[in-house]
Homo-oligomer: A and B are copies of this chain.
């Protein structure tokens, strides 16, 4: 790991994306989203996705000139077709549209079909919360794990994001439906580490903490066993219904890398119209303070609310530089033509 100054990271990502063919504006906006994810400690879905994204652009799997088109407007709901454009820009556009709708109606719902990978889902939850909105967002994906009771791939890991604003730092949850991602398995394997809890099944069909054994079977464990499996299925169905798009098993047929052709939902609420910002803030403060007052397992730590460690990491990144894997940094510098 090396530490890179945030501005330098942003500029390098911009150069790599611009060189890949994105317009100046698109490259700037994309670079900011990936730089922020990396700064927040989510390297895997920040700078870590840049080489693969550029590869997808080169293959024509992401259309860098496409803009979302309106499929349907129905009161507080807007259905968009992402036209397989740039996933992070599509998702940010959807978030902004949902904010506009929520300002008008108290709630704003954007369902987008036929888009591409939104990278770190938390990006849109943080955006919404920082602008004062509460949010519930999710995406479906191609099948990447077996449903509970199955051995073959059948469900997506369909990340779910929720956010509630709070002045001292919003409550933000960003969770996939697998207990661990393939990225986490790979990183544990490279370090020679076992997972802290079971993460999937080994070749004998036994629950396992061995990342390599799970990578070999591709039998990722849904979070909470049958519960995460069921939640993944329902999030998939509801996203496909609302966006009038593809459920996971049809995304599987697109065969253009990870996430291409997926559906996303953005449900935003405006607390200013529902009891007021101050009441929402006091309630969120109360929850954070209540958690901090519970008894920790490790007495050197306090019990954290979702989003708390992200904010701490963000501050550290701005103060001391953003942590980036050194081989990955070299690869991205090369893509940026600055190596």
A residues with a Cβ closer than 8 A to B are: 72, 74-77, 79, 105-107, 109, 111, 134, 136, 146-155, 160, 162-164, 171, 173, 175, 179, 197, 205, 207, 223-225, 227-228, 230-231, 233-238, 240-242, 244, 247-250, 267, 269, 271, 273-275, 279-280, 283-284, 286-287, 290-291, 294-298, 301, 303-306
A interface, by DSSP: helix, strand, loop or mixed? mixed
A252 to chain B, nearest CB (A): 9
Report how far A269 CA is from B269 CA in the complex, Å. Answer: 16
A303 partner residues in chain B, CB cutoff 8 A: 147-150, 154
Which of B153, B162, B224, B295 touches A228 (beta carbons < 8 Å)?
B224
Query: Would you call A294 and B241 a contact (CB within 8 A)?
Result: no
Query: Would you call B296 and A106 a contact (CB within 8 A)?
Result: no
Query: Would you call B290 and A154 a contact (CB within 8 A)?
Result: yes
Query: Would you call B244 and A77 a contact (CB within 8 A)?
Result: no
- Decide: A296 near B241, CB < 8 A? Known: A75-B105, A175-B227, A274-B72: no
Query: Would you call B153 and A107 a contact (CB within 8 A)?
Result: no
Query: Would you call B237 and A283 a contact (CB within 8 A)?
Result: yes
In the A-B complex, the 8 residue pairs with the smallest Cβ-Cβ separation, listed nearest first, are A223-B224, A244-B275, A162-B234, A154-B294, A224-B224, A249-B290, A230-B306, A152-B295
